[in-house]
């Protein structure tokens, strides 16, 4: 595998292949006007810009074989009214150890809220590009609207538009309608109602994420409240993904292969389908189930589990006819919390796999130095160890 050089404030670093974010340098004259991803126009284009054409090894298989991702009745499990608890726990444990993905039903999230959230997404993404750009995500920021990542990356561009916003939770200071305020701030008062819908949706995602954390603590055999305690105060991100049709769906990807650098992702996909997971050395599609959420383990949780539960490798493909929407709630710890696995998961036979770090460090790494992909956690760990200082909490060496 080749290597790409990137010069940052920390010096010159070598990272594998073309994974490094290629920064646009204003000093280099650009021969053509900047690329703009205007979905309304590009969805009809059969000559797609080369920046959207992915390398041969990443080109999608649109007819990938479906895989049955385990479906867990979460209310049944937590209330003790569902199928035998021990069996359910074993299914979760196996799925998380092998590939890091399962689905939940009977989760208590009102289907009306999900439908309403999709309606609001249609309203937002259906606006002309210039209207959406009022909420433009700025360089280095994690929130806002991005039409593909034309200003951020220069190749392997994803065929999608995204709108991301923050949802911080703290049970001791609940009540602040952060999402609603954000919508009004960036888009104006006419977006208050849409902001309210997404605020409600995020609150529900936060509740569900903490319930799933209870399940995962049990699956790992640590104290039932262990991960709920870590995440009850959190600094999470909600992302709306809109994938317009593409006349060359076999050449591009909606979202490239990656593991989420975050802790836990609660994904809802509409009925169109396009999510694929990499299991047993093959890409498989995950058929949408209207009442289910897909749960992915992310890199941060994998590090907190000392590698026992795996971060799920996934991607999204597009199609030539039907626009697709998905909603991802990324549970994240607070920025400066030092993340290290519980002592029960570390011993002589299972030494520490990753160094201590903070979410703020990993987030910065994925936003400024490295485009999140299949190897983020390993590359980040090496980078941390190389750049460690004696004063930072994340500077402890691997045992
Ligand atoms: C912290 C994050 C970075 C990304 C959004 C969240 C969680 C997943 C990451 C991402 C989806 C992984 C694939 C590449 C990426 C650039 C994307 O296609 O959206 C990633 C997100 C990002 O850096 O904005
Ligand atoms: O749209 C999908 O199905 C997947 C999206 C995704 O992986 C992400 O937003 O991180
Ligand atoms: Fe993802």
Three-class secondary structure assignment of 323-371: CEEEEEEEECCCCCCCECCCHHHCCCCCCCCCCCECHHHHHHHHHHHEC
User: Atom 20 (ligand 1): residue with closest C-alpha?
Assistant: 372
**pLDDT value of residue 160:** 98
**pLDDT value of residue 31:** 58
**Can you name the residues that pair with 268 across neighbouring β-strands?**
327
Which residue in the list 137, 315, 324, 371 is annotated as catalytic?
A: 324
260 CA closest ligand 2 atom index: 10
Q: Which of 148-152, 267-271, 338-342 has the lowest mean pLDDT?
A: 148-152
User: What order do you get walking across the sheet with 144-147 strand by strand?
Assistant: 71-73, 101-105, 293-297, 264-269, 324-331, 234-243, 161-169, 144-147
pLDDT digits (tens, 9 = 90+) for 158-214: 999 999 999 999 998 877 899 999 999 999 999 999 999 999 999 999 999 999 999
User: Atom 11 (ligand 1): residue with closest C-alpha?
Assistant: 260
Look-up of token digits 């359910």? 88
All domains of the chain in start order, with CATH: 3-387 (2.60.120.330)
pLDDT digits (tens, 9 = 90+) for 5-29: 222 323 333 344 334 444 344 344 5
| Distance separating alpha carbons of residues 117 and 121, to the nearest angstrom | 6
**Mean pLDDT taken over the chain:** 90
Ligand 3 centroid–CA 189 distance in Å is 31
With a CB cutoff of 8 Å and minimum separation 6, the contacts of 66 are 284, 285, 286, 287
pLDDT digits (tens, 9 = 90+) for 128-149: 999 999 999 998 889 999 999 9
Ligand 1 centroid–CA 255 distance in Å is 9
**pLDDT value of residue 5:** 25
DSSP-assigned letter for residue 286: -
**pLDDT value of residue 81:** 81
| Distance separating alpha carbons of residues 323 and 316, to the nearest angstrom | 13
Assess whether pLDDT exceeds 70 at residue 389.
Answer: no
Question: What is the value of pTM for the model shown?
Answer: 0.91
Residue 329: name the closest of 262, 263, 259, 266 by CA: 266
**pLDDT value of residue 243:** 98
324 CA closest ligand 2 atom index: 1
Contact between 154 and 53 under an 8 Å Cβ cutoff? The reply is no
Q: Does the Cβ of 315 fall within 6 Å of ligand 2?
A: no
Q: Mean per-residue pLDDT for 295-307?
A: 98
**pLDDT value of residue 32:** 67
Q: What is the ipTM of this complex?
A: 0.97
């Amino acid at each position: 595998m080749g290597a790409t050089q990137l010069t940052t404030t920390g010096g010159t670093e070598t990272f594998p292949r073309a994974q490094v974010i290629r920064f646009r340098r204003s000093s280099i004259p650009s021969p053509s006007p900047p690329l703009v991803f205007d979905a309304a126009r590009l969805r009809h284009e059969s000559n797609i810009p080369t920046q959207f054409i992915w390398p041969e090894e990443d080109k999608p298989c649109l007819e990938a074989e479906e895989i049955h991702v385990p479906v867990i009745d979460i209310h049944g499990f937590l209330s003790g009214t569902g199928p035998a608890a021990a069996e359910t726990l074993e299914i979760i444990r196996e799925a998380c150890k092998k590939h890091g993905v399962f689905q939940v039903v009977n989760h208590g999230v009102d289907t009306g809220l999900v439908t309403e959230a999709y309606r609001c997404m249609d309203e937002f993404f259906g606006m002309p590009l210039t209207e959406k750009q009022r909420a433009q995500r700025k360089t280095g920021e994690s929130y806002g609207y991005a039409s593909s990542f034309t200003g951020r990356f220069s190749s392997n561009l994803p065929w999608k538009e995204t709108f991301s916003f923050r949802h911080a939770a703290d049970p001791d200071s609940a009540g602040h309608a952060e999402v609603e305020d954000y919508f009004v701030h960036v888009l104006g008062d006419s977006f208050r109602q849409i902001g309210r819908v997404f605020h409600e949706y995020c609150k529900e995602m936060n509740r569900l994420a903490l319930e799933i954390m209870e399940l995962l603590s049990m699956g790992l055999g640590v104290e039932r409240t262990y991960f709920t305690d870590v995440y009850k105060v959190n600094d999470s991100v909600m992302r709306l993904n809109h994938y317009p049709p593409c006349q060359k769906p076999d050449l591009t990807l909606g979202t490239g292969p990656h593991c989420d650098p975050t802790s836990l992702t609660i994904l809802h996909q509409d009925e169109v389908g396009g999510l694929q997971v990499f299991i047993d050395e093959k890409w498989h599609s995950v058929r949408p189930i209207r009442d289910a959420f897909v749960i992915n383990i992310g890199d941060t949780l994998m590090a907190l589990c000392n590698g026992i539960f795996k971060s799920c490798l996934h991607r999204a493909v597009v199609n030539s006819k039907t626009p697709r929407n998905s909603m991802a709630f990324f549970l994240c710890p607070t920025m400066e919390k030092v993340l290290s696995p519980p002592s029960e998961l570390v011993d002589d036979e299972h030494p520490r796999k990753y160094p201590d770090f903070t979410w703020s460090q990993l987030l910065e790494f994925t936003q400024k130095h490295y485009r999140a992909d299949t190897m983020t956690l390993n590359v980040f760990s090496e980078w941390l160890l190389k750049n460690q200082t004696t004063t930072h909490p994340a500077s402890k060496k691997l045992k």
